[in-house]
Amino acid sequence: MNAILTGQVFYSYQHELLERDSFADIGAHFSGIKPFHKHAGEIALSDDKLFISGDENLQIPLASIEQIYLGFDEAFPRTLVKNFGVFWQPLRLSLSNGNKLYLIIDYNMLGANNQLWFDGLRELLSE
């Protein structure tokens, strides 16, 4: 695999976000707390697949990505992010199997690299 981008990822499926309790919304605003996520690992982007390894191992063909979206929605609201999303927004992938993944890539206390990954995915998907 020839990786175009690599990084660390926190992620959740849409149903996991919708099933969270109210403590997750409150906890997101304390210093030192990572953003809400259910899974973590490493992520790599090749010219035809997205690879995630960690507590789950996923290989997502780019052809199965129906939509990419950078921003907040009803499943991942601004309340789940410190400073209500001023510095970063989640990256959502809608897949042909009906799953929606919400990614937070290369998170640090100041932000995430989701914009870089959004741009890279958008470019590859438009080819």
CA neighbours within 13 Å on the CB side: how many for 14?
A: 14
Closest CA to 77 of 18, 6, 5: 18
In the chain, % of residues over pLDDT 70: 91
The residues near 48 (Cβ < 8 Å, ≥ 6 apart) are: 61, 62, 63
Across all residues in the chain, what is the average pLDDT?
90
Average pLDDT over residues 14-37: 76
User: Is the C-alpha dihedral spanning 125, 91, 87, 43 positive or negative?
Assistant: negative
116 versus 127: the higher-pLDDT residue is 116
90 versus 23: the higher-pLDDT residue is 90
pLDDT band at 9 (very low <50, low <70, confident <90, very high): very high
